[in-house]
Amino acid sequence: MVIGGLLIIMMLNLNLNISESAATQTFNNITQQNLTTVSDIVENDFRKMGYHIFDSVKVTYTDTSEIKFQTDLYSDSTIHVVRYYFNPTAVSGQENTNTHVLYRQIDNTTSMPMNLGLTKFRLRYYDGAGNLLTGNSTATLAKIRAIKVAMSIESVSAWNKKYSGAYWERTIKPKNLF
Amino acid sequence: MSGRAIIIFIAGLIVISGVVFHNIEASSTLITQNYYKYYVRQEAQDIAQTGAGMALRQIGNDINWRTGFPLMNLLSGKVQVTVSDSTFFGRKVIKIVSIGYQQYGTTLERRDTCITYQRRSFIPSFVIASVTTNNPVAANGSMTIDGRDHDSTGATIIAGQGTWGVWSTKAWSQSGAAVVGGTAAGLDFLPTNPANPLIIKQNQPFAGGYPGTPDSVMGAIGIGYPEGTLKAIAQSGINGSRYTTNPATLTMPLKGVTYIELPSAGVWTPAALSGSGILVIHNSTKNAILSNPGAGKFSGIVISDDIIHLHDSIVGAVVSLTPAPSAGNVIGNGTGAVLYSKIAIKRATEVAVMPTNGSQNAVAWRE
């Protein structure tokens, strides 16, 4: 009888643990998929930066959490201004209060929010020699050849009071900037 | 609890655990798949870019290469590249479409396309003859002007591919031992004195007006040379280009676009020209002078407001802009030569790319 009870307790404990692992894995999966979704959108747009722009200034505004650039986004001869901006203080409305919203705006249309659990979104700009560039003077903007994008993402809900997280960083060198 | 109940309970737990394990495995599989799909996308993109890069290299070796690559293995996938002549918003370009495949032919197949537009070498529309002028022009001494098509060295004739020896909006004259040859209606004419009239075009009308700037000689905005382009290329330093208002600072050989901006009636008298590319001597009043360059060899296009006594060998073409040359009409009275060469002109235009779009001489990339 005692042995049976101990066995049941052990089985219950095991079941609890694997259930927790399963939930954690599911959250990890969702978080990672959110990350690749955001990175795919960002990469897809950033690689088109400067396409069909013959001015030397193709990136028109830079900041660590915001960028504006020109491109013929849809290859239809129409030049668009693409803007990405991230407000690290504005709330996302998610259960995870660490998360914030990344916005993608085309020209002056309504911004498209990407509310997928981003906790950090940071941009850095480099010239052809790999020197970090700051500021928005025309001369500086014309020198931009590479943009380092770094983002952290967390699950929008907690499991067992824990958030799963993932980090992505990439230096994108849009060929039309060269 | 009876032994039977315990067995049933444990069996239930085992079933539940089994389901949970299955869920864990499914989640793990999804995570792996997500990662793998991302990897495959990147690989396909890398393959497509590599294919475009290989095509660019081929074109670098042979400017007439348009064969492309059939579907073939590359890296861990496959690539297919097509190359064709095209235009990109008015610019003559070579269009390269490279498609990278990963997991080709499987349910996991992923494709990525990279399109690049490479500036196409061309003969500028206002490079009409071996010597093109907007003023009365004469050749004396033992100068040679030959509109037959030469190879890049000027040594070999490519039959039937050349152009007129001289084209001018004003009168042409020839004296001394100067000889002029050229091509008309596909027929080559050896340099002679007097020249065959078929290869001399004098007192020609010019619909729309004779070009007044170097960029308009290149074809102006319609072909990607809005005003200021050649100067901007020279100032960028790309492909060895140089811009100066003090030509004494130049060293030979010249490369890329060499743009010399002189003051009004300013004169540049180089010891000898050498090198290649596009050489511009110009100012806003259109009276900058290239005077008495001697005994060198330059391959490409020379565009000068005013030319006095050319003694160099120019393999390519020469264009003069002024309607009123400062020292009369004699473009050469020594041993100079202007040997028309399509390949030399094309190579000169190849290196004259907009610096802001100069990635591997590409006008634009789409990926």
Query: In this predicted model, what pLDDT tens digit does every residue of B166-219 receive, in sequence order?
Result: 999 989 988 888 899 999 999 999 999 899 999 999 998 887 788 889 988 887
Q: How confident is the model at residue B22 (pLDDT cuts 50, 70, 90)?
A: confident
Q: A48 — contact with chain B (CB < 8 Å)? A: yes
- Among A25, A48, A51, pick the best mutation site for testing chain B contact (most B Cβ within 10 A): A25
User: In chain A, which residue's Cα lies nearest the Cα of B23?
Assistant: A22
Residue in B340, B298, B290, B289 with CA at minimum distance from that of residue B317: B340
Residues of B in contact with A143 (CB under 8 A): none
Q: Which domain holds residue B101?
A: 3-121
Task: Classify residue B142: in a domain, yes or no.
Answer: yes
- The answer on B305 and B337 residing in a single domain is yes
The answer, yes or no, to whether residue B358 has pLDDT greater than 70, is: no
Residue in B173, B176, B140 with CA at minimum distance from that of residue B309: B140
Task: Classify residue B347: in a domain, yes or no.
Answer: no
The predicted pLDDT at position B253 comes to: 92
Q: A52 — contact with chain B (CB < 8 Å)? A: yes
Task: Classify residue B363: in a domain, yes or no.
Answer: no
- The answer on B333 and B249 residing in a single domain is yes
**Chain A residues 62-91 with a CB less than 8 Å from chain B:** 75, 77
- The answer on B220 and B139 residing in a single domain is yes
Q: At what angle do helices A2-46 and B3-61 cross, to 10 degrees?
A: 20
- The answer on B97 and B200 residing in a single domain is no
Task: Classify residue B356: in a domain, yes or no.
Answer: no
Last residue in a domain, options B121, B153, B173: B121
- A30 CA to chain B: closest CA distance, Å? 8
CA B139, CA B350: separation in Å to the nearest integer? 30
Last residue in a domain, options B83, B99, B121: B121
Who contacts B39 (Cβ-Cβ below 8 Å, separation ≥6)? none
- The answer on B100 and B152 residing in a single domain is no
- The answer on B133 and B115 residing in a single domain is no
B280: three-class secondary structure by DSSP: strand
Task: Classify residue B349: in a domain, yes or no.
Answer: no
Task: Classify residue B99: in a domain, yes or no.
Answer: yes
- The answer on B96 and B203 residing in a single domain is no
Please provide the DSSP assignment of B172-231 as one string.
Answer: EEE-TT-EEEEEETTEEEEEESSPPGGGEE-S---TT----SHHHHHTGGGGT--TTHHH
Given an 8 Å threshold on Cβ–Cβ distance, is A25 in contact with B13? no
- The answer on B110 and B164 residing in a single domain is no
Q: Tokens for B81, please give them.
A: 């590249």
CB A58 within 8 A of CB A69: yes
Task: Classify residue B157: in a domain, yes or no.
Answer: yes
Residues of A in contact with B50 (CB under 8 A): none
Task: Classify residue B367: in a domain, yes or no.
Answer: no
Task: Identify the H or E element spanning B30.
Answer: helix B3-61
Who contacts B32 (Cβ-Cβ below 8 Å, separation ≥6)? none
The answer, yes or no, to whether residue B307 has pLDDT greater than 80, is: yes
- The answer on B316 and B238 residing in a single domain is yes
User: In chain A, which residue's Cα lies nearest the Cα of B224?
Assistant: A54
- The answer on B237 and B98 residing in a single domain is no
Check residue B160 and report its DSSP letter.
T
- The answer on B189 and B92 residing in a single domain is no
Single-letter amino acid code for the residue at A117? G
A129: three-class secondary structure by DSSP: coil
Given an 8 Å threshold on Cβ–Cβ distance, is A26 in contact with B366? no
CA B50, CA B284: separation in Å to the nearest integer? 44
Last residue in a domain, options B91, B121, B151: B121
The predicted pLDDT at position B4 comes to: 82
- The answer on B203 and B269 residing in a single domain is yes
Whole-number mean pLDDT of chain B? 86
Question: What ipTM goes with this model?
Answer: 0.82
Give chain B's domain count: 2
Q: A29 — contact with chain B (CB < 8 Å)? A: yes
How many CB atoms within 10 Å of residue A106? 16
Which residues in A78-94 are b (16+ Cβ under 10 Å) and which e?
A: eebebbbbbeeeeebeb
